[in-house]
Amino acid sequence: ESIKVFAPATVANVACGYDVLGFALEGIGDELIITKTESPGLTITDIHGSNHLSKKPEENVITVAAQALIDSLTKKPDFGLQFELTKKVQPGSGLGSSASSSAAAVFGVNQILGEPFSTTELVRFAMEGEKLASGVPHADNVAPSLLGGFVLIRSYNPLDVIPLQFPDELCATVVHPQIEVKTSDAKKMLRQQIELRDAIVQWGNVAGLVSGLAQGDYGLIGRSLQDVIAEPIRGILIPGFAEAKQKSKEAGALGASISGSGPSIFALSQGMKNAQQVAEAFRKLFEDIGLESYVHVSPI
């Protein structure tokens, strides 16, 4: 018996929502084939699309996340599971690569076990994969990868995951300039203390963004896509970042910022036509800079 699972790539933070906001992309994500085996235990047989990832069960996010799920069952399965992973989301891209693998693993294992957990309950198991990958069990990639759409992590302790309403025409453009930034490094760069005046700007924008999404107020969404905490520090690592923000606005985007911990950049737009124009602007910019880039456009 074997099943094939797909889990989408994601954009975390969404400018103002460091570790608390994320959304799922369409048409890009990791694929996982999970096969039941007679002998118990978890094994990884193949990893396609990336050379650097370990197949050792304690060193790969898929088996770590799957094991977290199995550990929380009172009745353990009397069979084993074999995983074959196809990576379409590049590690270190800022598009939730590890999250996409972790989400696929827990979703698929839950299916094979007859769904002992709801999809929302799976988030905390997938977070164990994130802990392995980045040192911090953040949920702003795994939650949208599992649930789809726009998601808020209202609280981590206790975990409170809230799917958000958002308008139909909202689309995303992402560009991945072909360099790698490790989330663990990009997390260590940030200061542990922030100024009250920065916090005021940030929580005003988080509330504005959530409210703009709920009301379908594109102007408010655009005004709220600001980050005064992580972006000023992490933006320095991304060649062409300031220009990319500027060009995306000129091409009709509502706003843009770093996708997750970078180096990918995302922009939100009203409608696919605008999102395509932004994609063109991103392509051209990175061509001019002389940096290879991957561009993807998606409805949310």
Q: Given the complex with ligand HSE, which of 128 and 140 has the nearer CB atom?
A: 140
**DSSP H helical segments within the chain, as ranges?**
61-71, 97-112, 119-134, 142-147, 183-188, 196-215, 218-224, 231-234, 241-250, 272-289
Tell me how far, at minimum, the Cβ of 46 lies from ligand HSE, in Å. Answer: 25
Whether residue 99 contacts residue 147, with contact meaning beta carbons closer than 8 Å, is answered with no
Angle at 140 between CA 154 and CA 30, to 5 degrees: 150
Tokens of 262: 């970078």
Rounded distance, CA 227 to CA 194, Å?
Answer: 13
Q: Given the complex with ligand HSE, which of 118 and 192 has the nearer CB atom?
A: 192
Tokens of 154: 């209202």
Going by C-beta distance under 8 Å and a sequence separation of 6 or more, which residues neighbour residue 139?
Answer: 19, 123, 124, 126, 127, 130, 153, 156, 159, 161
Tell me how far, at minimum, the Cβ of 158 lies from ligand HSE, in Å. Answer: 19
Q: Given the complex with ligand HSE, which of 15 and 268 has the nearer CB atom?
A: 15
Q: Given the complex with ligand HSE, which of 8 and 94 has the nearer CB atom?
A: 94
Tell me how far, at minimum, the Cβ of 10 lies from ligand HSE, in Å. Answer: 8
Q: Given the complex with ligand HSE, which of 73 and 190 has the nearer CB atom?
A: 190
Q: Given the complex with ligand HSE, which of 112 and 139 has the nearer CB atom?
A: 139
- 157 burial level (CB within 10 Å; 0-12, 13-18, 19+): exposed
Tell me how far, at minimum, the Cβ of 13 lies from ligand HSE, in Å. Answer: 5
CA-nearest of 81, 38, 90 to 62 is 81
- Residues near ligand HSE, by CB under 6 A: 12-13, 18-19, 94, 96, 138, 140-141, 183, 186-187, 260-261
Tell me how far, at minimum, the Cβ of 260 lies from ligand HSE, in Å. Answer: 3
Tell me how far, at minimum, the Cβ of 79 lies from ligand HSE, in Å. Answer: 33
Rounded distance, CA 152 to CA 181, Å?
Answer: 24
Tell me how far, at minimum, the Cβ of 138 lies from ligand HSE, in Å. Answer: 5
Q: Given the complex with ligand HSE, which of 109 and 153 has the nearer CB atom?
A: 153
| Residue 237: DSSP 8-state | G
CB closest to ligand HSE, residue no: 260
**Tokens 């998606």 belong to which residue?**
298
Q: Given the complex with ligand HSE, which of 145 and 274 has the nearer CB atom?
A: 145
Tell me how far, at minimum, the Cβ of 15 lies from ligand HSE, in Å. Answer: 11
- Half-sphere exposure of residue 141: CA atoms within 13 angstroms, side-chain side: 35
